[in-house]
Structure 1
Amino acid sequence: MRRNQPSQVLVLLLCSLTSLTAAFVIPSTTRSTASPSTVSKPSLLLFATVSDDIDVDTEINAAKSILVTAAETKAEDSDTVIEALLSLEKLMRKKAKAEGESVAEDMKTQLNGDWRLIFTTGTADTQQKYGKINYFPLKAVQTFRTVEEDPMKITNGIFAGDFPLVKFFGEMDFDLKKRKLEFDFNQLLVLNLIEINLGKGDAAKIGASSGLGSESNVENVKKGRQAFFNWISADAQIATARGGGGGLALWKRVD
């Protein structure tokens, strides 16, 4: 079934499905009372500085080792994961400054494929509403087609097992200089049955109203800007990024 525009009923259905995700993200036993700024920038106990005396790649591998374990087991302490993400972000920025766009080129190539969201601090908006998110409890998979696609494609889906509850489809662009992936969704599929064509800004509005997206994305659309990720890393096992709403995220490759 195809619909040219998202009807009110279908949008409400979509918001209900995605709100279920937000509702289960913060168990009462793990909710943080810290402010969003504290959650996004905790004190770095493990990686206080990026030392010039130690090879940057060695420090990158140390941070990634923690994140790979977290992606495989979901057993690493959440603060340790955040510290590793922040350390990796700083280290990769230093590596890119030293080595140029080759770092981003490799990242773009490695990003091609399917990725399951494992861990997220959430956007600043979500942190304000719910606290620190940590390990993502439902199956959310993002697909990036960065090789042999023009324009490049992006898909974002929430699944019950292998069944897609909601899937967004769109196009994206990767800025090698900034390691910035900008995207917009132009179609969604609800319950693997109902196809809806989205106008400019519709996806941002749905995300903001459901609690999963950032209000900043709505404002960005008004200013002619797209939603984006600032990519930190991508390799054969994991990918990491900071979203436009300020949250950090960790993915595990699933293809």
Structure 2
Amino acid sequence: MTATLEHLDLKNNRPSSEALLSQLLALEKSAKKEKRVYDFEQLLGNWRLTFITGTKKAQKNAGNVIGKGRYLPRLITVAIAYSAAPDNDPSTKWQKGTVLNSVKFGLLDLAVSGPIKFQAQKRLMGFDFTHIIVKLGGLKLYEGDLRGGTDTKKFHDMPIGKQPFFSYFYMSEQAIAARGKGGGVALWTKLE
């Protein structure tokens, strides 16, 4: 039987960081054991970053600041949005699309975007941020390419091990969870 996070009220009555991390690690172990496969479509949409542990290096350097993981403050919205590419072919090994990662704090809005590729069998999402927009109170302060912009063919041809990636181990209608390339664990909840 597959464990879920659905019984947790992550918006109003959050469990302790230790309890949530324990649940996430159990879900990760279960996904590996069951060789769970997720559909790309389950990731599509807007998700709010709710909980992080940081990378293994960050955990070592930050010590008690991150501890066993940390909920993100509600006054900061860190969100990720996945969308499928118009020419995405579901019959191929890698599903293609785009990612938009944004941070909103007060009037400041920072967003980076770029291409993604997802392999359902291994639950891996490779990504690259190639464009940035900075706004203050709706006024665009800066927009431009990062590292020369997007060469999607080069991105899609590059091995996943040479890219940043997430290894997803939990997906539902309300939450997704993954381990990043650096070893940290993250939990996102659905944005209404």
**If the TM-score is normalised by the length of the shorter chain, which range does it land in?**
0.7 to 0.9
Report how far residue 176 of structure 1 moved.
1.8
Structure ID, larger Rg: 1
Q: Hey, what does 2:133 align to over in structure 1?
A: 189
- 1:167 is aligned to 2:111: yes
Q: Hey, what does 2:186 align to over in structure 1?
A: 249
| Structure 1: distance between partners of 2:11 and 2:189 | 8
SS of residue matched to 2:165: strand
* Deviation per residue, 1:35-92 (Å, 9 max, x gap): xxxxxxxxxxxxxxxxxxxxx22xx13xx245x42x2236211100000000000112
Q: Hey, what does 1:134 align to over in structure 2?
A: 70
Q: Hey, what does 1:122 align to over in structure 2?
A: 54
How many percent identity over aligned positions? 30
Count matched residues.
166
TM-score (structure 2 length as normaliser): 0.77
CA contact (8 A) 1:157 1:164 kept: no
SS of residue matched to 1:178: coil
| Structure 2: distance between partners of 1:126 and 1:74 | 27
SS of residue matched to 2:38: helix
> Which one of the candidate residues 67, 84, 87 is aligned to 2:26?
87
| Structure 2: distance between partners of 1:224 and 1:91 | 23
Amino acid in the other structure paired with 2:167: N
- 1:156 is aligned to 2:94: no
Amino acid in the other structure paired with 1:235: S
Report how far residue 94 of structure 1 moved.
2.3
* Deviation per residue, 1:97-138 (Å, 9 max, x gap): 6xxxxx322xx2111000000000111122122232410122
- 1:230 is aligned to 2:167: yes
Map 1:1-255 → 2, pairs under 5 A: 56-57=1-2, 60-61=3-4, 64-65=5-6, 68-69=8-9, 71-73=10-12, 75-96=14-35, 103-105=37-39, 108-131=40-63, 132=66, 133-137=69-73, 138-146=76-84, 148=86, 150=88, 151-161=96-106, 163=107, 165-191=109-135, 192-199=140-147, 225-255=162-192
SS of residue matched to 1:193: strand
**C-alpha distance 83-142 of structure 1, shift in aligned 2 (>3 A):** same
| Structure 2: distance between partners of 1:129 and 1:198 | 28
| Structure 2: distance between partners of 1:244 and 1:112 | 21
Structure 2 unmatched runs, 5+: 89-95, 150-157
CA contact (8 A) 1:238 1:250 kept: yes
SS of residue matched to 1:231: strand
Larger helix percent: 1
The list of structure 1 runs, each at least 4 consecutive aligned residues, that deviate by more than 4 angstroms after superposition, is: none
Report how far residue 166 of structure 1 moved.
0.9
Structure 1 unmatched runs, 5+: 1-55, 98-102, 202-220
| Structure 2: distance between partners of 1:65 and 1:136 | 19
